[in-house]
């Protein structure tokens, strides 16, 4: 984490609010790492690695993308955006070293440079109806739709999906300090858990080290949230992903659920259903965060078990209550 930014946050008197019902929230997003991909071959290089069409990532549009092994299982997933001529891949900090090392193996003779810039650029999140008014001093226009981007004065503003208006701002430390000081008078500094809960409730999966290589993109609904292109051409794992889309039958998908338990669900935790006959198990937790008397979670679950509504958190655990995601399963 950027040392100057750490000192700046420590100098602010307000502690992070731990509640889940904040109306106007301000988040430090240093728990998310950032990889810069630069060089004249960067676009072609990423096009051969990621599940989504990198050509659609522009100064005014971001997207989600998975990065798969040869078997189509995701090693990581990213929010992809641009700043000037460079591409940026955002993923949890814990993924950064392994991703940089393994992605670098595929550069070969391409004119591409990978850099961990997690400490170079600051990331801040704003959630709530207050967001637009707080951002107006820094941006002449707001991104209108989720995944849209606005660039101004070295700042990148990304509109994110969610039940409430939600934005991420990326830029140099001086500008982000100014923005934080402007926003903190109205917005409450919120915890990392609050931001993760917004992602969960928006139905956006995050791949961690515990779930690396556990899921094909469609299992986590990536094709439903602008995370997979089936027309872009070849990339590592593409044959498996395409075969599942056009020739196979999806037997697992990601659900939003709530569970009341004293045990904190962790990414990769096994689920259990007594009627399941799958040799691969009933499913796994993708991510979970506290909400109310229990935990909201995203979980990849065997469809037949989910439809029976008999899924437990572990063989002797509490039952999951499956609720509606903010998007339909049916693909347009």
> Tokens 């078990």 — which residue?
305
Please give the average per-residue pLDDT across 161-173, as a whole number: 96
In terms of phi and psi (left: phi > 0; alpha: psi -120 to 50; beta: otherwise), the region of 213 is left
List pLDDT tens digits, range 139-166.
999 999 999 999 999 999 999 999 899 9
> Residue 203's CB: how many other CB atoms inside 10 A?
20
Are 29 and 166 in contact by the 8 Å Cβ rule? The answer is no
Assign 332 a pLDDT band (cuts: 50, 70, 90): very low
Look up residue 151 and give its two tokens.
């660039």
Strand ranges in 176-279 using DSSP code E only, listed in sequence order: 188-190, 252-259, 270-271
**DSSP code for 311:** -
User: How far is residue 327's CA from residue 161's CA, in Å, rounded to a whole number?
Assistant: 11
Q: What is the pLDDT of residue 3?
A: 95
User: How far is residue 144's CA from residue 160's CA, in Å, rounded to a whole number?
Assistant: 10
Domain 25-201 - what CATH class?
alpha beta
* SS3 state of residue 267: coil
Domain with CATH 2.40.30.110 in the chain: 251-327
- CATH code reported for the domain at 251-327: 2.40.30.110
pTM, whole model, 2 decimals? 0.95
Between the alpha carbon of residue 238 and those of residues 31, 45, 75, 216, the distances in Å are 30, 15, 14, 10
Domain with CATH 3.30.1360.120 in the chain: 25-201
List pLDDT tens digits, range 49-72.
999 999 999 999 999 999 999 999
User: How far is residue 125's CA from residue 142's CA, in Å, rounded to a whole number?
Assistant: 15
List pLDDT tens digits, range 278-311.
778 899 999 999 999 999 999 999 999 999 878 9
User: How far is residue 142's CA from residue 132's CA, in Å, rounded to a whole number?
Assistant: 7
> Tokens 């070295």 — which residue?
154
User: How far is residue 43's CA from residue 85's CA, in Å, rounded to a whole number?
Assistant: 10
Please give the average per-residue pLDDT across 120-147, as a whole number: 97
User: How far is residue 193's CA from residue 197's CA, in Å, rounded to a whole number?
Assistant: 6
Are 156 and 170 in contact by the 8 Å Cβ rule? The answer is yes
Q: What is the pLDDT of residue 14?
A: 65
Please give the average per-residue pLDDT across 123-150, as a whole number: 97
Assign 27 a pLDDT band (cuts: 50, 70, 90): very high
Q: What is the pLDDT of residue 248?
A: 76
């Amino acid at each position: 984490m950027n040392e100057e930014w750490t000192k700046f946050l420590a100098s602010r008197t307000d502690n992070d609010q731990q509640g889940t019902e904040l109306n106007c929230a301000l988040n430090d997003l240093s728990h998310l790492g950032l990889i810069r991909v630069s060089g004249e071959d960067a676009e072609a290089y990423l096009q051969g690695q990621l599940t989504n069409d990198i050509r659609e990532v522009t100064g005014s549009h971001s997207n989600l993308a998975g990065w798969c092994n040869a078997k189509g299982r995701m090693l990581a997933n990213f929010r992809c955006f641009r700043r000037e001529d460079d591409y940026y891949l955002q993923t949890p900090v814990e993924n950064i070293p392994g991703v940089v090392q393994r992605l670098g193996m595929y550069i070969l003779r391409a004119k591409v440079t990978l850099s961990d810039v997690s400490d170079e650029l600051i990331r801040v999140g704003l959630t709530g109806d207050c967001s637009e008014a707080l951002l107006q001093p820094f941006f002449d226009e707001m991104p209108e739709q989720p995944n849209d981007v606005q660039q101004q004065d070295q700042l990148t503003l990304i509109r994110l999906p969610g039940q409430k208006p939600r934005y991420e701002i990326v830029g140099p430390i001086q500008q982000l300090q100014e923005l934080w000081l402007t926003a903190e008078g109205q917005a409450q500094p919120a915890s990392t858990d609050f931001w993760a809960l917004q992602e969960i409730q928006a139905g956006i999966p995050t791949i961690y080290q515990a779930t690396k290589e556990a899921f094909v993109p469609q299992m986590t609904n990536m094709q439903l949230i602008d995370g997979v292109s089936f027309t872009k051409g070849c990339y590592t794992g593409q044959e498996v992903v395409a075969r599942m889309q056009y020739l196979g039958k999806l037997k697992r998908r990601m659900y939003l659920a709530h569970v009341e338990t004293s045990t904190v669900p962790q990414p990769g935790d096994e689920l259990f259903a007594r009627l399941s006959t799958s040799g691969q198990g009933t499913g796994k937790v993708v991510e979970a965060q506290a909400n109310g008397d229990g935990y909201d979670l995203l979980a990849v679950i065997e469809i037949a078990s989910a439809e029976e509504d008999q899924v437990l958190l572990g063989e002797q655990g509490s039952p999951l209550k499956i609720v509606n995601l903010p998007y339909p399963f049916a693909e347009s």
